[in-house]
Amino acid sequence: MPYPKKNLLKRLLVWRYKHISNKTFIHILSVVVGLLAGLASVTLKNITYFIESSLERGILFSNYGMYFILPIIGLALVYLYVKFVHKEKLQHAVSSILFSLSKRKGIIAPKHIYTQLIAAPLTVGFGGSVGLLGPAVASGAAISSNMSRLFHINTKTRSLLIACASAGAIASIFQSPIAAIIFAVEVFSLDLTMLSVLPLLLASISGVLTSYFFLGNEALFNFTITQDFEVKDTLFYVILGVGTAFASIYFTKMYFGIQKLFRPFKSPKYKLLIGGLAIGIMLYFIPPLYGEGFGFINSLLDGEHAVALGRTPFDAYIDNIWVVIALLFGITIFKAVAMTTTLAAGGAGGIFIPTMVMGSALGNVVAKVINHSGLGFAVSESNFTLIGMAGLIAGVLHAPLTAIFLIAEITGGYALFVPLMITASISYLITKNATDYSIYTRELAQQGALLTHNKDQAVLTLMQLDDVIEKNFKSVSPEMNLGDMLHQSVSKSTRNIFPVVDEKKALAGIVLLDDIREFMFDTSMYDTTTVKNFMRNPPEHIFYGEDTMQKVMRKFQDSGAWNLPVIKDGKYFGFVSKSKLLTAYRRELINFTK
């Protein structure tokens, strides 16, 4: 019996191939992807704000001690969802997308479409100190990946559409289409050509329109620049750039340090209890750490630091500006701690918006110190708040252009473009020299799964070791005599190399055809000489699951060998030949650049 849905899809695909060119179809899909990614972003925000507002109206403000309980409840709900529904460990949103692009041909499981829409609001709504941008991008990417598979889109175009989804999600959240495109180029390492720019532009516009349709002209940051850049403040922006660079390095090291601290806890229950309690303690003393923190940023931009700080145990001293500065600096320090603790304890969320919160606090602190130093200087605290965000984004994410254009679009103009460039570039340069990789890319780089703008490295990253392993080699045992080897292996093989494998399937060595050629016709040696007499060690080994393709290529280059054995779990697995490796490399390079 035919399946109606499959037949309908087949007819649709045939009609598309006949009437719509591939380029036009990609443009149509980029619009659709942008709309759906924007819709996912809006849904994510609305669910989260509904949870937050329900808790605020119900118990949060009436019972200050609930700060200790709410993060544990949120993390417990996420844990139950992951255990019984998702059934696999939650991955960092953007890093998992980058891994799927480099090692899974852009294929993302359908369940990732809705998992982030459930887990992230539960985490953030109950006080987890993470952002919603990463989950929005992850949900959009999953939509794009599965839509691409539905319409039989090739791997390269699928990667482009996933980048389009990220642009649509960011454009929808920030209403900043240019920054969204630049983020996709910087983070996903796309080549900036008309083939990629136009789909990104269409997706970005679609995401913005989705946001306008559901949220109207409601801007994330209601701010208008009232004080333009002045040349006399240049030194202060340089100082801010240096400060945000060190804060970025601290942010990155704290992220990996706390992740490492939680690693010994094998049970997710212990992680959520310890992490939830730690978050609750931080929220009690520093309430602005609750959730994303957009309200905190807006209050700082409005010059209302008392509103930004909210109710704290230090309210009696809030009239002292240095107490205010200390509390804001505390947010700078503890936002990274609270964010990483939330993620390490099993929460779902992103790092982009926490980076902005931390940067806004630091920028405001620097401006307040300058204005109250008693040296007669006066700078705009709002401007420094904005530019502090750009400095942290540039440093933590290694995305200086995204930082510059995002803040420029948020402010509705380019009046602060020069100080944005100064601070972002200084922060990026110092941080890049101190940390080669961002939070998004460090673990991927260690696994050899990071795509970059370097085409040679990118092609090697896209290649799979399984595609070049050959297993049609006749193996022999060390105790086999020469006669048996010739009759059982050499006569039946088309290769000139024979792996020597012991009884435990481990590789003991190799025998080359050249090593036995002069003895092949000396029958007197058939029974008296064993394989062990001709065996030699291979010039190098390839370790399956450990060696990246870059390392494999380097081993061929350094050893000068034409064939190298592959070891998997301590046992012989096959060979990789240089000729097949180079053929696969050339094929992948053609696909990558066409």
pLDDT at 356 over 70: yes
Of residues 490, 564, 179, the one with CA closest to residue 352:
179
Domain ranges of the chain: 11-215, 231-448, 457-593
Total Cβ atoms within 10 A of residue 206: 26
Region at 360 (left for phi over 0; alpha for psi -120 to 50; beta for the rest): alpha
Contact predicate 52/183, CB 8 Å = no
pLDDT at 182 over 50: yes
Each residue of 546-588: pLDDT tens digit?
888 888 888 988 888 888 999 998 999 999 988 888 888 777 7
Alpha helices in 290-351 (DSSP H): 294-301, 305-309, 321-344
User: 428 falls in which pLDDT band (50, 70, 90)?
Assistant: very high
- Tell me the angle at which helices 112-125 and 70-81 cross, rounded to the nearest 10 degrees: 170
Q: What percent of the chain has pLDDT over 90?
A: 38
Q: What is the per-residue burial (b if ≥16 Cβ within 10 Å, else e) of 352-374?
A: bbbbbbbbbbbbbbbbbebbeee
The pLDDT value given to residue 367: 94
Of residues 335, 341, 334, the one with CA closest to residue 354:
335
State the first-to-last Cα distance of the chain, in angstroms, to the nearest integer: 41
CATH topology of domain 457-593: CBS-domain (3.10.580)
Quick check: helix, strand or coil at residue 41? helix
Pick the residue with more confidence: 221 or 219? 221
CATH code for the structural domain at 11-215: 1.10.3080.10
The pLDDT value given to residue 58: 60
- pTM, full prediction: 0.81
Each residue of 578-587: pLDDT tens digit?
888 888 877 7
pLDDT at 384 over 90: yes
User: 460 falls in which pLDDT band (50, 70, 90)?
Assistant: low
Total number of residues shown for the chain? 594
The pLDDT value given to residue 424: 95
Of residues 176, 252, 258, 159, the one with CA closest to residue 211:
176
Region 234-258: mean pLDDT is 94
Contact predicate 101/155, CB 8 Å = no
What is the 8-class DSSP label of residue 348? -
What CATH architecture does domain 231-448 belong to? Orthogonal Bundle (1.10)
For residue 469, what are its two tokens?
């392993």
The pLDDT value given to residue 37: 93
The pLDDT value given to residue 1: 44
For residue 129, what are its two tokens?
């100190």
Of residues 580, 575, 585, 560, the one with CA closest to residue 496:
575
pLDDT at 426 over 60: yes
Contact predicate 407/176, CB 8 Å = no
Each residue of 299-331: pLDDT tens digit?
898 888 888 888 777 777 788 889 999 999 999
User: 65 falls in which pLDDT band (50, 70, 90)?
Assistant: low
For residue 356, what are its two tokens?
């902005």
Q: Which amino acid is at 77?
A: L
What is the 8-class DSSP label of residue 84? I
The pLDDT value given to residue 543: 92
pLDDT at 223 over 90: no
The pLDDT value given to residue 43: 92
User: 14 falls in which pLDDT band (50, 70, 90)?
Assistant: confident
The pLDDT value given to residue 451: 59
Contact predicate 402/179, CB 8 Å = yes
User: 251 falls in which pLDDT band (50, 70, 90)?
Assistant: very high
Most confident of 67-71, 186-190, 477-481, 513-517: 477-481
User: 545 falls in which pLDDT band (50, 70, 90)?
Assistant: confident
pLDDT at 385 over 90: yes
The pLDDT value given to residue 191: 67
| Domains 11-215 and 457-593 fall in the same CATH topology | no
Q: Average pLDDT, whole number, for the chain?
A: 86
The pLDDT value given to residue 521: 81
